[in-house]
Amino acid sequence: MSEVYHIPAMLKETIEGLNIKSDGVYVDVTFGGGGHSRAILEAGAGRLYSFDQDADALVNRIDDERWTFVHSNFRYLRNWMDYYGVEQIDGLLADLGVSFHHFDCPERGFSFRFSAPLDMRMNQTAKRTAADIVNNYSEEDLAKILYLYGELNNSRVIAKSICKARSQQAILRTEELVAASRIPAERSKELARLFQALRIEVNDEMGALREMLVAARDLLKPGGRIAILTYHSLEDRLVKNFLRSGNLEGNIEKDFYGNILTPFTLVEKGREASEEEVARNPRARSAKLRVAEKK
């Protein structure tokens, strides 16, 4: 297991963005190492519910009577709030970055840096692994997710190469996938995008994000805030359009006078980590913070 589970990006800016109230009810839908959750409690939140679908995160549990751990995917936010009798919340935080723990724990198969089984499941009780996708998806479907989720312009070439390799023998390990893709080691960014695409598909990250955003919009009380940290353009585009328009399609509606009809007022429009923070934590380089307040 990684010595450092996770270092939260833009911690101070994110907590300030939430504008925490002492009697407020808050949700951290990405508990991970617990850094953001601890900071929310330290800022005086009245109640905090922290979600994480990975049982490994329980090692970071918080001893505080105001805190409740929800071992679940954040796509079920609405269901769990109903279960706990919570009708409205004062704020929600989502750090969409993958924890250091996942990238640095070889046996989880999230990184091409290690020899490991092709797994990539955030929820280790889920059935579908990255190996299932690599070996069972059609060449066309494989190319599609590499293009959509990895933004790989040569997705068809990579998918064809993978399918040719798997016809000889099943691709079950990270190093076998790297070899099958025929992406040279020096093109590490391309390899990272290949693994990113598979991770997003394995965990249905975009589908879960869409469901969570809609639930958060409906749960937030007037004056409540949502703070989201994104790490790649695909999720950032979705979050940006949703917070601007209030809907998943990003459709801007206007009233008779041309005023934009949206349930949110934008507070942070894509703030990036400072040079000082990036020097301390290089993985914060790609983080963008977006904050909005419910009208």
Sequence-distant (6+) residues with CB within 8 A of 60 are 5, 31, 32, 33, 34
Q: Is 182 left (phi over 0), alpha (psi -120 to 50) or beta?
A: left
* pLDDT score of 101: 61
* pLDDT score of 201: 98
* pLDDT score of 4: 59
Where is average pLDDT lowest: 5-9, 139-143, 208-212?
A: 5-9
- Which tens digit of pLDDT belongs to each residue from 52-101? 998 888 899 999 999 999 999 999 999 999 999 999 999 999 999 887 66
Q: What is the mean pLDDT of the chain?
A: 94
Over range 176-200, report the average pLDDT.
96
Over range 156-180, report the average pLDDT.
98
Can you read off the two tokens belonging to residue 167? 């016809």
* pLDDT confidence bin for 226, thresholds 50/70/90: very high
List of domains in the chain: 11-100+205-294 (3.40.50.150), 127-202 (1.10.150.170)
- Which tens digit of pLDDT belongs to each residue from 255-276? 999 998 999 999 999 999 999 9
Which stretches does DSSP call E strand in the chain?
25-28, 47-51, 67-70, 89-95, 220-230, 253-254, 260-261, 264-272, 288-294
Sort 14 into a burial class: Cβ within 10 Å, 0-12 / 13-18 / 19+.
buried
